[in-house]
Homo-oligomer: A and B are copies of this chain.
Amino acid sequence: MNKKPLILVTNDDSIVAPGIRALIAVMKEIGDVVVVAPDSPQSAMGHAITINNTLHIEKVKIDADLDMEYSCSGTPVDCVKIAVHEILKRKPDLCVSGINHGSNSSINIIYSGTMSAAVEAGIEGIPAIGFSLLDFSWNADFEPVKAFVKKITLEVLEKGLPDSVILNVNLPKLPVDEIKGIKVCRQAKAMWEERFDKRTNPQGKDYYWLTGEFINQDKGEDTDEWALANGYISVVPVQFDLTAHHAIQQLNTWNLNS
């Protein structure tokens, strides 16, 4: 029999979020689980790291079955770094992040702490998956998607991911019998049309809340937005080489050195 895989679990909604507890429950069926997750919500932190402040970690006991759970004062990316380089004795076989409360499809990936943690693991050479459920509420129901999370994870462990590729998995908020299947997709071209909600504080000073509307600019039927709108789970392979390789030739025609 094979040795059980060592699985690092993290997220951005904090270590006590129902989403990470659901992910831990699935991962316990698959491998040896170590949890290192933020001690407070870190949504929309992107790939931020803590370089101008100190970091604290605290061994905690939330799941009676687990020996290694740690809360960390830093960002999701900090959690992965300190897990790999300070807490774990060996490189984990897999890092899973989530299950996020809310979508990380299309352009949301770029703001997402959940996905940045997975990307950081990928940079460190660890196969990694970020999972997100299209339900922002704290009381989101993760039961219908657990079997799919397990299936995708087992497939990654069996097949291995291509070099420097991370998976961004988004799960529709649907009863299990209405989920049509799993689709491999590309990231839809989309953006947030911002609106700033301007208010005045009791001292008479203006302040703003960032708000906005999500705009899908992409009509393609091979995108994550299409898949999710049509009842599928979307799986986008993600890379951290941001080079626009197709643009290099064009820029080489410029007069940069004349």
Which residues of chain B come closer than 8 Å to A245, judged between CB atoms?
A: 186
A114 within 8 A of B: no
Query: Across the interface, which residues of B come within 8 angstroms of A152, CB to CB?
Result: 256
What CA separation (Å) do A246 and B152 show in the bound complex? 19
Question: When the two chains form their complex, are residues A165 and B237 in contact, meaning their CB atoms are under 8 A apart?
Answer: no
What's the minimum C-beta distance from A82 to chain B, rounded to whole angstroms? 6
Residue A78 CB within 8 A of the other chain: yes
Assuming the A-B contacts A186-B243, A186-B248, A210-B51, are A191 and B123 also in contact, with contact meaning beta carbons closer than 8 angstroms in the complex? Answer: yes
* Chain B residues within an 8 Å CB radius of A123: 107, 110, 191
Main SS at interface, chain A:
mixed
- CB of A244 within 8 Å of the partner chain: yes
Partner of A256, one of B52, B151, B240: B151
- With contacts A151-B256, A251-B184 taken as known, whether A209 is within 8 angstroms of B243 at the C-beta atoms is no
A6 at the interface (CB under 8 A from B): no
Q: Is the CB of B238 within 8 A of A242?
A: yes
Q: Choose among A181, A245, A248 the residue with the greatest number of B CB atoms under 10 Å from its CB.
A: A248
Q: Count copies of this chain in the complex.
A: 2
The answer to whether B187 touches A54, judged by C-beta atoms less than 8 angstroms apart, is no
A55 at the interface (CB under 8 A from B): yes
A194-B81, A210-B50 known; A107+B240 contact, CB < 8 A? yes
Per-residue B-contact encoding for A42-67, CB less than 8 Å = 1, 0 else: 01111111111011110000000000
Q: Does A119 contact B (CB under 8 A)?
A: yes
Q: Are B165 and A244 in contact (CB under 8 A)?
A: yes
Contacts beyond the supplied A45-B48, A85-B195: 8 A-B pairs with Cβ under 8 Å? A49-B210, A78-B210, A86-B196, A107-B240, A165-B247, A181-B256, A186-B248, A237-B243
Residue numbers of A with Cβ under 8 A of B are 41, 43-52, 54-57, 77-78, 81-82, 84-86, 107, 109-111, 116, 119, 123-124, 151-152, 155, 159, 161-162, 164-165, 168, 181-182, 184-187, 189, 191, 194-196, 198, 205-210, 235-248, 250-252, 254-257
Q: Considering the complex of A and B, which 9 residue pairs feature the smallest CB-CB distances, nearest first?
A: A46-B47, A237-B247, A46-B46, A239-B244, A237-B244, A182-B256, A54-B207, A85-B194, A186-B243
